[in-house]
Amino acid sequence: MTYGRIEVQVAGHAREFFPGGRDRHWVDLAGPATAREIIEQLGVSPDLVMAVFVDGELRDKDAVPPPGAILLLISPPSGG
C-alpha cells in the first residue's frame, strides 16, 4: 500500500537527466518525503534543481508535498 502519488513536472534543460528525458513523472510514495528525497528517488541529483514549486507555491527542497500534489522543478538557466 502506498502513502500517495506525486506528479513531478520538470521545466528546463535538467529534464534530460530525468528518466527517459521526460518532463512529467508520477512517483508513488511509501510515506511522507521531502522534495529532495523525491528528486533522488527519480535518480537525479537535487543540485540540478534551482527552484521547487508545490501546487504553484515556491518552496524549498526540504518541503514535504502532500499526496496528490504537483511538484514543479525548475533547473538553472544554461547556454552561452
pLDDT value at residue 80: 55
User: What tens-digit pLDDT sequence spans the chain (80 residues)?
Assistant: 679 999 999 998 888 999 999 999 999 999 999 999 999 999 999 999 999 999 999 999 999 999 999 999 998 776 55
Can you tell me the distance from the alpha carbon of 36 to that of 71, in angstroms, rounded to the nearest whole number?
Answer: 11
How far does the chain reach from its first CA to its final CA, in angstroms?
47
What is the per-residue pLDDT for 77? Answer: 75
DSSP 39: H
Gap between the Cα atoms of 18 and 15, Å rounded: 5
Where does 4-74 sit in CATH, by number?
A: 3.10.20.30
pTM, two decimal places: 0.90
